[in-house]
Structure 1
């Protein structure tokens, strides 16, 4: 490869930070002539080069501006070479512009925007432009096969790097030319006023091993993300699309609102990064967020967030797996549809946060996650449908391990709940709770119920294992038209007065449960109903393991029309005169 080193004096280029117009013209002429002469690399020596980054004759002043790099060219900046944008009042600029070209590399050196010297009073009559958020360090505009490597970029009025398309999709009078095969690696991107990187119209974009810091600080311009993946569209029509974007092994620190947001991209992978702020799949489709490390010390923000389903789609098809989250307010907040959350480790969240949650979501599965030392809610499904919590280790809540509210068809299966104030709380929802271990015995304070539900809920509670409950193991209120099934649960060494208590409703079923007491005084009821009609209490086993006797193993005397059948019990039944009782066996 042939390299040409810029001859500053030959091309009237100043290296002392003066004469922006002459310096910019000289560098562009040197690059063009080097390309014409067959050189594939141009080196910029050390020095400070003031760049006129505004195209004053273009409709958009950031297009075709600044240093323009042709096809098949590498621009190599000496480590002490610095391109400095001349202070201006333009709503847009580009220090380096990579237009419809191919095989371009930008490597090394520094680029400095003029954010803190910028005149924001210009173009006030153009309402869409008055935010002045289109000032770029490097503008990749419809180019192909671009590498940006080891460049230090900071303090642009818009973004350090913009990856965008020329033309628009779904518009008959223009041709859409997205940026393609763009690699941004080992760069330092700091303090852009808007985003450090924006990908709006790009395909096959790789962002790897960069340090991305402080986007949007000091009165920035929204969205203020480390990386924003956001195409433009209206309703279900896309005019530009970010596709196949891979964000890997980067460090994100101090970015004002989020580290990464896949607002509307397709096939986006966010993996192996370190982040001190949120990563969001937004309205994105086919997103993977995996093996990232999230760390904060102030218990603020949600580590992984979302917005919903993109217009015209039925789901997000998102996978969130293998992430480690520590010290945030909340862990993972799922919205939208078709999301899998598995194998994440979450710890040390705030007392008012939630580790794993859904809101207005559909078809979401949380599996094999580990949650420790989180005093807030550990799992929460709110206003959602078809949600599954399965195989999660859920520990140390001062509120509840699983909260289900205003939701339909929620399953909690094979979860391990320890050291929490309450186990599962169901409110105005339909829920199936199966094969859960709920051990509240080591909680430091007074415990609530292992499982509870309200009169607006339909519940199926099966095969739970609840050892040594100090408060009711299963408590619920029901109403006519609601379904309650409490079957085959194992409640051992109960310390409480009533392990299973159901109030109200018609035809609840309480069957096949094993209940043992190990109290320090006589008294208690194994199963009690109150104000129910037609309860089926069948084939339960209830007895005390020590010398202290129960009041009654089963009490239905405050209900009507109960059927008490085939139970194995120690002690006498307390029944209502309307009850049916047979085949109960004393033990």
Structure 2
């Protein structure tokens, strides 16, 4: 039946049943009707309300997801009534595809409802051992196809992925390789896909826009994700590679093991989505994760808000940008692994363990983030060439704000943090701590470094220290400590440097507000040939110190131009003193 550009199917002519019976006749009838519409030159086919039982299993025993179901021809738009229900006939096959787009182009599917056989399926085990999970049952399969739009379709309860987009053949493998290209999935609702709700293998130019992605998983198989971009490589050779992918304005809820994983993929944007579980970038390259709201409201902190793995051996860098996201309710807010990673302008709240975690990371920038949680705000671990700047952290009542551990070439600059402790550095080299504002609200160090660390401090402000404001065990490296302000120190010692040689401690301004007598300004022990130049030490509440400068347990210290208003300079006989002056209070 025809009406201009629209083709209306004559169900009786093609043997199609709309009462949920006779799967074989109904499936074959739709395939024949679609083909006939194209042959007659119609650009669109309309399918009315009804329940249609579909034989979704292909003819091959090993890969039965190929060649079965409703096989769409090229150059067709199929418009489905919102109550057009396509049910997969229950089966025992390891794979199937209800709607099958294999090697076609210029296909649009609008509307309708697909229901898999997940809860009626026979998961028989007398099959090839690699197929016993039965995880290849698809609601819609797009394989080696081009210019495809899937819009306003509801797909649920498939034994595998509700929507699967992939290639015919594999990259770098004998035989044909045809990726799916220019595929759009828009305004769809995907629910309870047993493996994933939406997944993509080798594809180029995939857009997933404004979809509701709900309750993937619920079984023992994996990955159980809302969206899984599952590239595959081995020994630096790519076989499946999702490329130029955009996931925008989608809503993720209650997916079993995460909202979205972007793995071995390239040029991927995840922008403006609402998620209740993690987004991960795995081994991928050129990924932007931007302006998403990632909020876990279960009351139990999930592991990661944004996760990662590392750089692929086949790539020079990850080149990942994580920016503008709001992340709440996780143990770790952002795990930034890999090479060339930017983490900026994110807001993190209700994080229980680590706010931002550059780990096994090379060439990273962590800047202009806001972290409001009682957690370790930033932990740079086993990383190199890391810049942490212009971040603000509050609420770390039981934690230090920043840790640098087993890393090198790290710059911490222009950060503003409030926490039990400030910065703690261990087993790290060329760590520069510059222009940071550290407000201490507990009894831990303002800045601490161990004897295996090379640290330079300049122009930092450390306020309200209830423990040593600056503490360093400097056995292996000479330290440069210049222009720092220690304001209203409440502890016995403001600055304590232990061991090493040739330290420069210059132009520092130290004030005490202890509420009692005793204490030391700069406490230098076990060091040789260090310089203390132009430092000023004073008390703000009328009480006194024991020694403003204590160097008697060090040797050959040069003290020049220092000023103080309380206590004495307790020096070693080997020290050189000139132009030091005790000022009146």
Same fold (TM over 0.5): yes
Distance 2:143 2:453 in 1: 55
* One of 559, 570, 573 as aligned partner of 1:577: 573
Deviation string 1:522-563 (CA, Å, 9 cap, x unpaired) is: 221110012222222221111223432221110011222222
Question: Which residue in the other structure is 1:191 paired with?
Answer: 192
Question: Which residue in the other structure is 1:234 paired with?
Answer: 234
* One of 409, 431, 453 as aligned partner of 1:457: 453
Which moved further from structure 2: 521-530 or 576-585?
576-585
Distance 1:483 1:577 in 2: 22
> In 2, are the aligned partners of 1:91 and 1:122 still within 8 Å (CA)?
no
Consecutive unaligned residues in structure 2, runs of 5 or more: none
Distance 1:123 1:2 in 2: 49
Distance 1:483 1:586 in 2: 28
State whether structure 2 residue 200 is matched by structure 1 residue 204: no
Change beyond 3 A, Cα 1:260–1:379: same
- Offset at residue 428 of structure 1 (A): 1.1
Question: Which residue in the other structure is 2:130 paired with?
Answer: 128
- Offset at residue 495 of structure 1 (A): 2.2
- Offset at residue 160 of structure 1 (A): 0.6
Distance 2:253 2:73 in 1: 34
Distance 2:247 2:289 in 1: 10
State whether structure 2 residue 540 is matched by structure 1 residue 545: yes
Which moved further from structure 2: 492-501 or 284-293?
492-501
Q: 1:198 is paired with a residue of what secondary structure? A: strand
Counterparts of 1:558-577 in structure 2, within 5 Å, are 558-571=553-566, 572-577=568-573
Counterparts of 1:232-381 in structure 2, within 5 Å, are 232-297=232-297, 298=299, 299-350=301-352, 353-372=353-372, 374-381=373-380
- Offset at residue 6 of structure 1 (A): 2.4
Q: 1:520 is paired with a residue of what secondary structure? A: coil
Question: Which residue in the other structure is 2:152 paired with?
Answer: 150
> In 2, are the aligned partners of 1:123 and 1:129 still within 8 Å (CA)?
no
> In 2, are the aligned partners of 1:91 and 1:123 still within 8 Å (CA)?
no
Q: 1:246 is paired with a residue of what secondary structure? A: strand
Counterparts of 1:383-462 in structure 2, within 5 Å, are 383-397=382-396, 398-418=398-418, 420-430=419-429, 431-440=431-440, 443=441, 446-462=442-458
Question: Which residue in the other structure is 1:505 paired with?
Answer: 500
Deviation string 1:392-442 (CA, Å, 9 cap, x unpaired) is: 001111211101111111111000012x100101111121100000112xx
Distance 2:147 2:496 in 1: 68
> In 2, are the aligned partners of 1:76 and 1:106 still within 8 Å (CA)?
yes
Distance 2:121 2:465 in 1: 66
> In 2, are the aligned partners of 1:55 and 1:62 still within 8 Å (CA)?
yes
Deviation string 1:108-162 (CA, Å, 9 cap, x unpaired) is: 11101111111111553x2222221111100001111000000000111110111
* One of 72, 75, 82 as aligned partner of 1:72: 75
Distance 1:520 1:60 in 2: 79
> In 2, are the aligned partners of 1:182 and 1:205 still within 8 Å (CA)?
yes
> In 1, are the aligned partners of 2:270 and 2:290 still within 8 Å (CA)?
yes
Question: Which residue in the other structure is 1:84 paired with?
Answer: 87
State whether structure 2 residue 535 is matched by structure 1 residue 530: no
Q: 2:411 is paired with a residue of what secondary structure? A: strand
- Offset at residue 300 of structure 1 (A): 1.7
Distance 2:234 2:466 in 1: 57
Deviation string 1:451-489 (CA, Å, 9 cap, x unpaired) is: 11111111111100122322211112121x323221110
Q: 1:167 is paired with a residue of what secondary structure? A: coil
* One of 471, 475, 479 as aligned partner of 1:475: 471
Distance 2:459 2:254 in 1: 47
- Offset at residue 519 of structure 1 (A): 3.0
Q: 1:196 is paired with a residue of what secondary structure? A: strand
Distance 1:327 1:174 in 2: 47
- Offset at residue 10 of structure 1 (A): 2.1
TM, length-normalised to structure 2: 0.96
* One of 46, 51, 56 as aligned partner of 1:53: 56
Deviation string 1:305-360 (CA, Å, 9 cap, x unpaired) is: 0011112212100000000011222210011110000000011112xx10101211
TM, length-normalised to structure 1: 0.95
State whether structure 2 residue 211 is matched by structure 1 residue 215: no
- Offset at residue 288 of structure 1 (A): 0.2
Counterparts of 1:93-172 in structure 2, within 5 Å, are 93-124=96-127, 126-171=128-173
> In 2, are the aligned partners of 1:90 and 1:123 still within 8 Å (CA)?
no
Distance 1:467 1:131 in 2: 59
Q: 1:327 is paired with a residue of what secondary structure? A: strand
> In 2, are the aligned partners of 1:193 and 1:220 still within 8 Å (CA)?
no
Compare the two structures and name the one with the higher strand fraction. Answer: 2
Distance 1:233 1:586 in 2: 70
Consecutive unaligned residues in structure 1, runs of 5 or more: none
Distance 1:190 1:518 in 2: 62
- The alignment yields a C-alpha RMSD, in angstroms, of 1.4
> In 2, are the aligned partners of 1:106 and 1:147 still within 8 Å (CA)?
yes
> In 1, are the aligned partners of 2:59 and 2:67 still within 8 Å (CA)?
no
- Offset at residue 59 of structure 1 (A): 5.3
- Offset at residue 220 of structure 1 (A): 4.4
